[in-house]
Amino acid sequence: MGIIIRQSTRSSLISFAGIGISAFTILWLYPRYLTREQIGMLTFLEAAAWTFLSFGSLGVFNIADRFFPYFRQSQDARHN
């Protein structure tokens, strides 16, 4: 049980560090060093990336469910 607690604590700390770095970047660095147009372009690129990511995962779970039994069989069982 100690391993799970240690790993979950470490994962939580890393997540919070990422949130802190993101907040610092967006709230302090972006306005200080980028123009409004550049911030808008970065926001657009991020939104487009999330959109393509969601479309890219369509059907992956169904494919895994369909072909998982095929990959679990031995080589001899597939050819007979």
Q: What is the pLDDT of residues 23-49, one digit of tens each?
A: 999 999 999 999 999 999 999 999 999
Q: Which two tokens stand for residue 71?
A: 């990959």
Find the domain containing 48 and state its range: 35-75
39 Cβ contact partners less than 8 Å away, ≥ 6 residues apart: 30, 31
Task: Determine, yes or no, domain membership for 80.
Answer: no
Q: Does pTM top 0.85 for this prediction?
A: no
Q: How many CB atoms lie within 10 A of CB 61?
A: 9
**In the predicted model, is pLDDT for residue 52 greater than 80?**
yes
First-residue to last-residue Cα distance in the chain: 46
The number of distinct structural domains making up the chain is: 2
In one-letter notation, the amino acid at residue 79 is: H
9 and 23 fall within a common domain: yes
Q: Which of 76, 80, 13 is nearest to 5 (CA)?
A: 13
71 and 39 fall within a common domain: yes
1 and 23 fall within a common domain: yes
Phi, psi of 74 (to 5 degrees): -75, 170
**In the predicted model, is pLDDT for residue 55 greater than 80?**
yes
